[in-house]
């Protein structure tokens, strides 16, 4: 029973720190700008700072998850939850921006903490599925953020307050469910040092490269997906619905995990990122066709969540003892790619247009999908694990 609560609580923690706090920033930003009176340049600077602090949190998780995973959960809940509440109470741009940046740290802390807790407390037969279920929390979080937007906007303060309180509560649930003793579910092997050795880093080269590419290509959806719909004349309410649909797609990973968890991670990666590339292209070329755009959002939401789950499985296949460290590394690289991709998209979208920008981004995602297949054909099996 405690294990089930841990998994469901972990799903909720990822939903809160990612979907309700970190990724909801772009959803509520127009209303915040209207009330606090800052421009797009400040909004972009805050987003960049949030990505940087996310990476700091993930690096902390990389270093500490092996010995302090429960306390990383506390840190994740406090930074994201209190940060969101301070955002809600902010009356000046500096206070809002600082709290938004700090709040993003919670997501970086949460992922490696949950990977470590699941790896140490869930039996091997269902561990991969449990990891996929927890990682799928971003989808429900996006849905919850979209529902809050539909119900409360333009009252963004109440929305952020709800998000902050929910984050604190679910963090407490995970902390209590995790208990104080790690079960021996790693075939009785003694734990290794927290920091992996040089050979481990060498085995991560391919997933690092594809995570960077995928982050760069997928950033266009998180940054300009809603703008593409607005620019195509889609009513504002439907653009929020598209955000909800994107979240529903991500949440569906919890259902499909029973099938994807039985497939080698590199194959899952190539499948999911190929679908993500198709979705990015469709959203960029067909935003005026509402049904097609909504379908693209659903496919992208599922593919993005499943692909990040594949990254966790990939680094776990490489070395289960360092799964939390691998997750932190790959997620830092993914977010770094998103920062680069958002900047590149911002530089392209006005001179080149939305369609060309999305098409280029889709091509980058497609390359990320192809790399493991090309590596496998060259016989580098150690870099692309197959069970």
H-assigned helices in the chain: 2-14, 24-36, 40-89, 93-103, 105-121, 124-135, 138-152, 156-178, 198-203, 205-231, 236-251, 253-260, 265-285, 290-318, 323-352, 354-377
Q: Which residue has the tokens 């602090």?
A: 53
Among 182, 158, 279, 160, which residue's Cα sits nearest to residue 225? 279
- Residue 125: the pLDDT is 66
**Alpha-carbon gap, residue 83 to 78, rounded angstroms:** 8
Omega cis (within 30) before 154: yes
Angle between helices 236-251 and 290-318 (to 10 degrees): 30
Query: Residue 184: pLDDT above 50?
Result: no
For residue 263, how many other CB atoms are within 10 A of its CB?
Answer: 16
Q: How does pLDDT run across 112-169, given as a tens digit for each residue? A: 899 889 888 887 767 777 887 887 788 889 889 999 988 998 899 999 999 999 999 9
* Integer Cα distance of 323 and 319 in angstroms: 6
Q: pLDDT tens digits for 16-53?
A: 999 999 988 878 887 888 899 887 667 767 877 888 89
Tell me what pLDDT residue 100 has.
94
Model confidence, pTM: 0.79
Q: Residue 260's closest CA among 112, 139, 130, 132? A: 132
Give the whole-angstrom CA distance, residue 149 versus residue 165. 16
Question: Helix, strand or coil for residue 78?
Answer: helix
Judged against a pLDDT cut of 80, whether residue 284 lies above it is answered with: yes
Least confident span in 56-60, 186-190, 298-302, 366-370: 186-190
Give residue 387's pLDDT: 44
pLDDT on residue 364? 97
């Amino acid at each position: 029973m405690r294990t089930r609560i841990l998994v469901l609580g972990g799903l909720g923690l990822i939903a809160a720190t990612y979907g309700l706090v970190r990724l909801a920033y772009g959803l509520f930003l127009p209303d915040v700008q209207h009330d606090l009176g800052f421009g797009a340049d400040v909004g972009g600077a805050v987003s960049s700072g949030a990505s940087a602090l996310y990476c700091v949190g993930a690096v902390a998780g990389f270093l500490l998850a092996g010995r302090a995973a429960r306390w990383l959960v506390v840190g994740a809940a406090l930074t994201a939850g209190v940060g969101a509440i301070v955002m809600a109470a902010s009356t000046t741009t500096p206070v809002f921006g600082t709290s938004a940046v700090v709040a993003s740290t919670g997501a970086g802390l949460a992922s490696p903490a949950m990977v470590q807790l699941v790896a140490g407390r869930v039996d091997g037969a269902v561990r991969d599925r449990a990891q996929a279920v927890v990682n799928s929390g971003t989808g429900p979080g996006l849905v919850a953020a979209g529902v809050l937007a539909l119900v409360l906007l333009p009252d963004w303060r109440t929305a952020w307050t709800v998000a902050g309180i929910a984050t604190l509560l679910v963090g407490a649930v995970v902390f209590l469910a995790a208990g104080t003793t790690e079960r021996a579910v790693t075939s009785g092997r003694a734990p290794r040092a927290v920091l992996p050795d040089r050979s481990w880093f060498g085995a991560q080269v391919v997933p690092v490269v594809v995570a960077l590419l995928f982050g760069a290509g997928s950033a266009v959806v998180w940054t300009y997906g809603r703008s593409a719909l607005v620019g195509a004349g889609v009513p504002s309410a439907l653009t929020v619905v598209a955000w909800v649909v994107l979240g529903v797609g991500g949440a569906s990973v919890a259902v499909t995990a029973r099938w994807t968890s039985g497939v080698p991670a590199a194959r899952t990666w190539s499948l999911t990122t190929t679908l993500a590339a198709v979705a990015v292209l469709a959203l960029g070329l067909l935003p005026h066709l509402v049904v097609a755009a909504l379908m693209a959002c659903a496919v992208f939401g599922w593919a993005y969540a499943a692909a990040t789950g594949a990254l966790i499985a990939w680094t776990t296949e490489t070395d289960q003892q360092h799964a939390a460290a691998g997750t932190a590394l790959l997620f830092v690289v993914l977010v770094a790619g998103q920062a680069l991709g958002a900047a590149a998209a911002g530089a392209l979208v006005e001179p080149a247009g939305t369609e060309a920008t999305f098409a280029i981004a889709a091509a980058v995602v497609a390359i990320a999908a192809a790399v493991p297949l090309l590596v496998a054909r060259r016989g580098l099996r150690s870099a692309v694990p197959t069970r």
